[in-house]
Structure 1
Amino acid sequence: MLEVRALAKHFGGIKAVDNCSFTAEAGKITALIGPNGAGKTTAFNCISRTMAPTAGEILLDGERIDHLKPHQVTRRGLSRTFQITRNLEDLTVLENLVVQSKVHGWRALFEPAITKEELKKAEEILAFLNITRLAYEETRNLSYGQKKLMDFGALLMSDPKIILLDEPAGGVNPSLLAEIVEHIRALNGQGLTVLIVEHNMELVMSLSDKVVVMAHGEIIAEGPPAMVQTDPKVLEAYLGGTNVEPAHA
């Protein structure tokens, strides 16, 4: 579904991402992990084209998207969330979902602000996330966790083939996190491909089909969770030192 080839993003002499290559298989959940400053979010920004890469290729379903604008990437079927929730506080939850729906060009200028199709779809997504009660609540009144759920719902409005989730567990209480995990599993069960950046290792290891590990802007390991969590290079990247022994079952 997604292939990243020799991706690089440099800020002057700083190589935030350097020669980074990995894949996310269709219908699977792939986790991108690494210590703080590893380059994970920068890689996400380049993949979603909210940031232009310095070099490399990004392919979605075999077609390059690294030259496209962010809204064009979304049209191709890739949507993402951000570490910090992004929303329009003066709009209701339902309206925040609708503004994320696909844009149909100049013809949309002659349509109602919210079409029947968009309303129906937004209501279905809110029902799926169990937040129908919040549909007409102004976003400014939501808790942080509720905003996270709204962001999650908003990215589904564009009919994505793959979703990129940037730290969905960050700042979320355990009860709400359990709900989010179930939603991810349910969507993946319907065939949606998921790429996730997350620091919660328990979540990563229980949820992912494959784990990709970054350190200092480079990929240092890739494979099933059980293999990655015992890789000496991964343990060294997280724990430091040169005498780190791999964990034993």
Structure 2
Amino acid sequence: MLEVRSLSKHFGGIQAVDKCSFVAERGKITALIGPNGAGKTTAFNCISRTMAPSAGEIRLDGRRIDTLRPYQVTAAGLSRTFQISRNLADMTVLENVICQSKIHGWRDLFRPAMSAEEIDKAFGILEFLGITRIANEDGSNLSYGQKKLMDLAALLMSDPKIILLDEPAGGVNPTLLEEIIGHIRKLNEQGLTVLIVEHNMDLIMRLSHRVVVMAHGRVIADGTPDEVRENPDVLDAYLGGALEEAA
């Protein structure tokens, strides 16, 4: 579904992503992992067009999206979350979710701010995630974990074909982590394609069908969780040669 071809991004003389290529297969969960500074989030930013790539191509269902604006990428069927929640603190959870509804053109100017159809759809998503009780809470009153769930709800409101999750487990307690894993698995079982950046290796190995590993801006491994787990290049990237020195 998603093809990244020779993606590069530099900031002056710093090459954050260097000719990075990988795919996210339709209906699968693909993980993008790597040590800090590997270029994972920069790649995410380029794919979602919150950042312009320096070179390369990104295709969604065969269509190039690397020249589109962020809202056009969302309209094409790709939505993402961020490491730090970007909710609108002065709006309720329900309003934050409905903000992500698909735009249907100038006719929307004559519709209510929140139509009955949108409210029903939003409540259905909140119910799926088990957070209807906080529908009328202001975004500023939420816990860190609740904000993560609200971000996921807002993501689903746009009817995406593929979702990009940037560290969905970061900073959440073990109980909520299990809930998030369950939600991602159910969404995938319903046919949603998932690309995920995460440092929690337990989550990655339990959820992913395929794992892409980055280091120094480049892809150094691509395979099943078991294949990646045993790859010496991956071990070296994470441990910096410590295993060889110990041996």
Structure 2 distance, partners of 1:89, 1:119, is 19
Report the Cα offset of residue 174 of structure 1: 0.5
Q: Is the 8 A contact 1:126 1:132 kept in 2?
A: yes
Correspondences of 1:138-157 after superposition (within 5 Å): 138-157=138-157
Cα deviation 1:70-108 (Å, max 9, x = unaligned):
000000000000000110111100000000111122211
Q: Deviations over 1:176-209 (max 9, x none)?
A: 1100110000000000000000000111011100
What amino acid is aligned across from residue 62 of structure 1 in structure 2? G
- Which residue of structure 2 aligns with residue 172 of structure 1? 172
**What is the CA–CA distance in structure 2 between the aligned matches of 1:244 and 1:100, rounded to whole Å?**
49
Distance in 1, matches of 2:184 and 2:157, equals 15
Greater shift in the superposed pair: 108-117 or 43-52: 108-117
Q: Retained in 2: the 8 A contact 1:235–1:244?
A: no
Structure-to-structure mapping, 1:1-249, within 5 angstroms: 1-241=1-241, 244=244
In structure 2, C-alpha distance between the alignment counterparts of 1:146 and 1:244, rounded to whole Å? 43
Displacement after TM superposition at 1:115 (Å): 1.0
State the one-letter code of the partner of 1:64: R
1:136 aligned partner, one-letter code: N
Tell me how many residue pairs correspond in the alignment. 245
Question: How many Å separate the matches in 2 of 1:173 and 1:118?
Answer: 31
Name the SS of the counterpart of 1:89 in structure 2: coil
TM score, norm. by length of structure 2: 0.98
Report the more deviating stretch, 12-21 or 98-107: 98-107
Q: What is the DSSP-based 3-state SS (H/G/I as helix, E as strand, rest coil) of the residue aligned with 1:68?
A: coil
CA gap of 1:118–1:240, structure 2 versus 1, over 3 A, is: same
Given that residues 232 and 244 in structure 1 are in contact (C-alpha distance below 8 angstroms), is that contact kept between their aligned partners in structure 2? no
Per-residue CA distance 1:111-140 (angstroms, 9 max, x = gap)? 000011111110000000000111111111
Question: Deviation at 1:44?
Answer: 0.1
Amino acid at match of 1:37: G
Once residues 203 and 240 of structure 1 are traced to their aligned partners in structure 2, the CA distance between those partners, rounded to angstroms, is 23
Distance 2:243 2:38 in 1: 21
Q: Matched residues in 2 for 1:18 and 1:105: separation?
A: 38
Query: 1:244 Cα deviation (Å)?
Result: 3.6
Superposed displacement of residue 242, structure 1:
7.1
Task: Please say if residues 162 and 195 of structure 1, whose CA atoms lie closer than 8 Å, have aligned partners that are also in contact.
Answer: yes
Of 44-53 and 105-114, more deviation after overlay is shown by 105-114
Q: Which AA in structure 2 matches 1:73?
A: V
Give the whole-Å Cα distance in 1 for the aligned partners of 2:14 and 2:141. 40
Helix, strand or coil at the partner of 1:56: strand
SS of residue paired to 1:113 = coil
Structure 1 CA distance for aligned equivalents of residues 243 and 34 of structure 2? 19
Please state whether the residue corresponding to 2:53 is helix, strand or coil. Answer: coil
Equivalent residue letter for 1:219:
V
3-state SS of paired residue (1:195): strand
Question: What percentage of residue pairs aligned between the two structures are identical?
Answer: 74
Report if the CA contact (8 A) 1:33-1:198 is conserved. yes
* Structure 2: gaps spanning 5 or more residues: none
Does the residue aligned with 1:171 lie in a helix, a strand or coil?
Answer: coil
1:6-28 CA deviation, whole Å, 9 max, x = no partner?
00000011000000000000000
Superposed CA RMSD in Å reads 1.0
SS at the partner of 2:130?
coil
User: Structure 1: any 5+ residue segments left out of the alignment?
Assistant: none
